[in-house]
Structure formats: structure tokens, C-alpha cells
Structure 1
Amino acid sequence: MSVPVYLAKLAVKNPSDNRLAKIRRLCEAMGLPDRVRPLGATGEDEVVAIKMHFGETGNDTYVHPTFARQVVDCVKAAGGRPFLTDTCTLYKSTRHNAVDHLETAYRHGFTPYVVDAPVIIADGVTSRCYEEVPVNLKHFASVKIAQAFRSISAMVVISHFKGHAFGGFGGAIKNLAMGCAPQLGKIDQHGRSVVIYPGCIGCGQCVKACPRDALTLKKAKKGRKAVIDAERCIGCYECVSVCNQGAIGVGLPTEYADFAERMAEYAYGAVLGKQDRICYLNFLMNITPQCDCAGWSDPAIVPDIGILASTDPVAIDQACHDLVKDAPNLVPMEGHAMHSCGYDKFAALRPHTRGWHQVEYAASIGMGSLDYELVTL
């Protein structure tokens, strides 16, 4: 049986048909009130996590706080008490600890005055608040999930669907996987197979970006070259992201598929035990080639498409992937003419990634269904 995925297109037919109203209608359509309302007469389980990404400093394509406010209002109308949340980053950033992360969230407009809910960093001040969750899957016997996500029984996952340097794309599954894990859980997912290729010019950008000082510059026959200390490396891949020469990469041929599987297993652990109490909203707007973890925002690769809602993380990510495939490209992609449709844009941008494998593997471990019905509101 097909899972319904609701789509609100962005065209406005009348003055009251704005994006804020569309979000509220999507929440109603997917049954958010029934999923987040308090369980039992005491209202004991009424605290609801709204999983967000507050955006790295310098990035401006994260989901807007006024959009998050509509979800807050819907949760409150159902009797829930929402808070907005995310976890600390693994790499050097303005979100590496809870203090810096909160300040970044506030600077980006996620204040109580705008969203009408508190912001709580789920894994604590220094990312040490988490619990081990047994999953017994291919890569992990257990996964590390931030304590705040283990303390609640209901959640709304708000994701900006866009490209990702290693995952191919990032949507609900990645938001659950990386976003619900503490730093140690992020290390688990990333692996450690970074290699430096002969094309290195010794510019030092990777050295500056490394959060564990695992990279140094050493003299070579011509100039300097980067050298990696495998023992210190935590596999965050920040060095790969900042290398403009493409001289740093992944050494194992299976690493990109394994990365997708490890993310799916962490996402599975994040929702375990509360699958029927979670809703998902994916924003197909500002579909950039890079994640919102980057300190910049590149131009979109396809036109804005709309906002999707579902109770199934696999179905909503699959629907988003299909819609981006069908959309015309706005940036040059090798082997494809401008404004051409019907191919995997993320694979065209980064042929080494395995974005589609996220959803395939997540479906195979029981996270959701690849079979969906797109319902346009």
C-alpha cells in the first residue's frame, strides 16, 4: 500500500494562500495533531521535539524560523509543549558546542520572540549527553542518540532537502542520523578513510579546517604537501569539503555506500520506539549543492518546488529525490544540457556519492516505504 506524501506547491492563488498557511495545512493533512497530542490524562508525554538545522554562520538557506513557528503553533494547538533542537557539530564551526550553537541559532532568528518556543541543544554543552540504543544491524549493534531525543515520545522533523558532499543529498534521514547523534555518534557514521592525492598544492586550507589537528604541511620535492595522521583523524571529512583542488578524498571504494548505510542505521535508532509519534516536513526550496553546515550558500541547482509532509521518512525523501530528478537544472552539469530534466542531479554533481542508497537501505531495515503516493494539496 502506498504511503501518502503531501505536497504544497509554492504558487499563490489568493492572498491568504501564503507559505505559512500551506505549512499549517500540511500539518493537518498528515495528522500531526494526533501524533503529538499528550498521551493519557496527565499530559506526561506532552513535550515535543522539533528537530531543526539552525544553519552555519554564513549560510542563509536553512529553513526560515517563521516557517518553524507554524509547526510550533500546530503542536501547541494539539496540546503539546514544543522545543526546537539540534546537536553539536563534529567539525570546527559556530555550532561545535551548545553555547556557540545557541548563539548561532539566535543570530539566525530562532528566538522565543519569533518561534514561540525554547531552543535546547539535545546533546548537552559539550556533546556528552547521550544514550546507547540497541539496533543490531549490519554496521552497528547499538547507536549513540542524544539524550533529549530519548527523553521525548513525540517529534516533528523539519528538513531542508539539498545536496551533500558525502551523502549525495540530505533530507529527513540525514537530519535524523547526523542531527540526533552526539559528536561520538557522528564519528561512528563518518568512518576514517581519508587519503591525500598527488594533486595537493600545500595551500593549508585543510590544516585550518581539521578539528583534531590531524593534518600538517610538510616539505615536498616541489613546495609543500599535506600529510594526515590517521591515528588523530576522526573522519569528519571537513578537509575534503574545503579542498578546492579535489586533492583529498576517500580511500575505500565502498565508503560512500557504507556511509549511506551507517546514516540509515543511526536514523533507525533515533526513531526507534516512537515511529507512530513522528511527523516529517521537507522543504524543497533553495536546493543547493552543499549542506547547510557549510558557511556559505551556493546558487540552487533546480527551481524551488514546494514543501512536502509525511509520516514516513523514507517515502518523503524518495519523493523529494524524484521531484528534483524531474526538475530542470539551473547550473551546468556534465553530460546534461541546461534546463534538462529526468536524471539524478545529485549523482551528476558528485558521481562518487550514493544518495539513492540512503532510502533503499533505510527501507530494507524497516524504516519506511519506497512506495508512495504524491498528494498535491
Structure 2
Amino acid sequence: MASKVYIADMKSTTNSESMVKKLGKLFYKAGFHELIEKDDFVAIKQHFGEPGNTAFIRPVFTREIVQIAKKLKGKPFLTDANTLYSGQRSNSVDHLNSAIGNGFGYATVQAPIIIADGLKGKGSTEVEVNLKHFDNVRIASEVLEADVLISLAHFKGHELAGFGGTFKNIGMGLGSRAGKQMMHSAVLPEITESECIKCMKCVKHCPENCIIINEDESYIDHEICIGCGECVVTCPTDAISVEWESTSEGMEERQVEFTYGIVKDRKNVYINFITNVSPDCDCAGWSDRPIVNDIGILASKDPVALEQASLDLVNQAEPKGMLEDRDLKPGENKFKAVHPNTDGGVRQIDYAAEIGMGSKEYELVSL
């Protein structure tokens, strides 16, 4: 049975048709208002944008969702988890400063920000999933306390997953820092001995006691290492390296499994902004020209249908930016054209459907 995906296009000629107002109408049209009850904690998950990036979802849209949640007597808060890479969002202090700098202060969005995995990204909780790659996934703890999860995802390119939408926003976004290591690579971490100061912090935090450090050597026993990434997060000198090598399809599947662990047994709202469709993720400190013109905002209670509809609309659109001179046929995967080492993001949709998260069949319903 086809799932309904609701779309608000970019045409606006009056104040009542502004994209902000359309987002509110879309929320009610999709039936999301039925999910929020009095005193529900409502987590609004979005990417706040790396400083220097300008493609992320604008705070005025976030405020519209906050106002709706408050009108429904919920208790909304904005949230994200710290990054694994070293940037300006790898700890809560820098993360909050970055969010406020990009316009997400309380005065603008009218809701507090809670970084879901704590000060240094260690606030994680294991959630059982029993899927292909993981028996348990490590989720940023605070989001698991929420009654409702609203995903505001910017649909754009991603150098490893092909594209980033709902699954990246939730799965990668709300995995703890150790969880992000689990998703990004199946390769186990290594210690660079010349950088190791033998502080033993990694040994203390290792759940499997697989790290050996003494006067003569520092190494990780890969026979018992589970690749949780806790040592990578803990090391104060970056002597334990983050391993990014992975196949596109494998990373996509792991990301979906984390998404599954977060959304199962929860009331969820899924919204994709197909605007400023940049070639790269909002984690980059810049934004290249969009690869297609703005298409609109899509919403659905089915994340698989939402991602499939979003991908189809982008692929059917006229190529722009770095793809203008490419001989792309209508329907050809634009994200694979941008990131040829990926499958264009197809596997994440297929795998989510395979594990029962939704249907690839959809009916597109306009406002």
C-alpha cells in the first residue's frame, strides 16, 4: 500500500502562502498534530550548521514548529548530538555557540537547545535492534527521554552516503560520538604510538578491556575490540585515529540501523526540506551552489516513502550548479553524479524498507 507524502511547493504570492506558513499547514495536513499530547517532551532534531555553512534549514522554520508544539501544550526543545570529526560542534560548548551563532538562540526560535549526548559526547545509551550489523546501537541519551521526535532534515548531498536526508539527520545525527564511529567504519581503530602520552584514559573507558598500554607499547587488541569508538572519543591527544574507510552501502545500512533504534516505539514526525540542495553535507564549513532549484518541503509519517519521494524529485529536476554541464538524463541519480564513489544513496532507502521501516511506494499529495 502506498504511503502518503505531503508536499508544499515553493510558490508564494501572499503572506498566507509564505513558506513558513506552508510548513505549518503541512504539519497539520500530515496529521502530525495528533501525535503531540499535553506535557509531551518534543525533541526537534535538525542540523544547526557548521559555522561558515549557509545551506542549513533557517531558524524561522524551526520557530514555526516550536510554536505549533507549544500550541498543542507540548514542551519543545531543539536537539542534536556532538560530531565525531574535529570541528566546531564536537563538544556541547562549541556546539551551542555554533548553533547560537547560526541564529538558533532562544530569542529567535523560542525554545531551548539540549545537546543530547552531553558535554563531551559520552552521554550514550545502548538500544537493542538485533539487525544485520548491530545487536545494539549507541544513541545520544537525552533524545530517548523525549515523547515525540520531530525530524527537520535538509535534503542534500553527502560524500559517503550519497545523500543526507531523514536517515542521516536521525541516525547519524543522534548517534553518540562513539555511535558515529560505529556507523562510519567497520575498520577498527589504531593507536599512533608516537602520539600516545600513556594517560590511560582510553583504558579506563574501554568496555572490552582490549587496550594495552605499557612502557614499551600501546595497541588495541583487535581480536576483542568491538569498534565502539569510545577510545577515539576519550583520547586527549588524538593518538587513536578515526577510521573513515568504508563502503557506501555498508555505511548507509549502519546509519539506517541507528535510525531504527531511535524511532522504534516512539511517536515520530518526518519532514524533508528540498531547498538549497548543496552537493555536500551541512557539516562542511561552506556551501557550494545547489545542484537543483528549490523544490519544496515534504512530510510523511513514513520515512522510507519520504526519502524515496525526495530522491525522485531531485533526480527528475533540471541539473544546476556543478552538474549544469553534465549530460544527465531525467531521472538519473544526481547524487551519484556528484559523489561517484557512492551508490547515490539508494541502499539506505532499500535497506530501511527491507527491515520494515516503511514503504518505497508513495502517493504525493500537494497542499
- TM-score normalized with structure 2 length: 0.83
The Cα of 1:72 is off from its aligned counterpart by: 0.5
Alignment of 1:1-377 (within 5 A): 1-38=1-38, 43=39, 46-191=40-185, 232-235=240-243, 237=244, 250=245, 255-274=247-266, 277-333=267-323, 336-337=326-327, 341-354=330-343, 355-377=345-367
SS of the residue corresponding to residue 16 of structure 1 reads helix
Deviations for 1:40-89, whole angstroms, at most 9, x for unmatched residues?
xxx4xx11100010000110110000010011111111111100000000
Cα distance between partner residues in 2 of 1:13 and 1:353:
39
RMSD: 1.8
Residue 312 of structure 1: CA displacement?
Answer: 1.4
Distance 1:108 1:182 in 2: 22
2:257 and 2:281 mapped to 1: Cα distance? 20
CA contact (8 A) 2:92 2:118 kept: yes
- Distance in 2 between residues matched to 1:233 and 1:323, nearest whole Å: 38
- Report sequence identity in percent: 43
One-letter code of the match for 2:290?
A: A
Q: Deviations over 1:142-163 (max 9, x none)?
A: 0001111111121110000000
Q: CA deviation at 1:331?
A: 3.0
Asked whether the 8 Å contact 1:167–1:260 carries over to 2, the reply is yes
Question: Helix, strand or coil for the counterpart of 2:299?
Answer: strand
CA distance in 2, matches of 1:349, 1:103: 31
Secondary structure in 1 aligned to 2:137? Answer: strand
Corresponding residue SS for 1:179: helix
Paired residues of 1:50 and 1:85 also in contact (CA < 8 A): yes
Number of the residue aligned with 1:210: none
Are the equivalent residues in 2 in contact too, given 1:285–1:306 (CA < 8 A)? yes
Does the aligned pair in 2 maintain the 1:69–1:114 contact within 8 Å? Answer: yes
Is the 1:75–1:81 contact (alpha carbons within 8 Å) kept by the matching residues of 2? yes
Looking at structure 1, the residues matched to 77 and 327 of structure 2 have their Cα atoms a distance apart, in angstroms, of 44
Counterpart code for 2:30: M
Shift of 1:14: 2.8
Q: What is the identity, as a one-letter code, of the residue corresponding to 1:367?
A: M
The whole-number CA distance in structure 2 between the counterparts of 1:296 and 1:58 is 5
Q: 2:12 & 2:278 partners in 1: Cα distance?
A: 23
The TM-score, its normalising length taken from structure 1, stands at 0.81
1:110 aligned partner, one-letter code? F
Q: Tell me if the contact between 1:32 and 1:75 (Cα under 8 Å) persists in the aligned partners.
A: no
SS of equivalent residue, structure 1 residue 178: helix
- The separation in 2 between residues aligned to 1:110 and 1:332, in whole angstroms, is 30
- The CA deviation string for residues 145-184 of structure 1, in whole angstroms up to 9 with x for no partner, is 1111111121110000000000000000111111111100
Report the CA distance between 1:308 and its aligned residue: 0.6
* Deviations, residues 210-258 of structure 1 (Å, cap 9, x unaligned): xxxxxxxxxxxxxxxxxxxxx93322x4xxxxxxxxxxxx4x6xx2111
Q: Give me the whole-angstrom Cα distance separating, in 2, the residues matched to 1:342 and 1:272.
A: 32
Residue 107 of structure 1 and its aligned partner are, at CA, apart by 0.5
Contact 1:334-1:348 at 8 Å conserved across structures: no
**The residue matched to 2:16 in structure 1 has which SS?**
coil
Contact 2:291/2:323, CA 8 A, preserved across alignment: no
- Secondary structure, counterpart of 1:155 in structure 2: strand
The separation in 1 between residues aligned to 2:121 and 2:320, in whole angstroms, is 39
Provide the C-alpha distance between the structure 2 equivalents of 1:37 and 1:311, rounded to a whole number of angstroms: 17
How far apart, CA to CA, are the structure 2 residues paired with 1:162 and 1:140?
Answer: 27
Distance 1:321 1:356 in 2: 9
Gaps of 5+ in 1: 195-230, 238-249
- Is the 1:37–1:75 Cα contact (8 Å) retained in structure 2? no
Q: Could you tell me which residue of structure 1 aligns to residue 198 of structure 2?
A: none
Give the direction of change, closer, same or farther, for the CA distance of 1:348–1:303 in structure 2 (3 Å limit). same
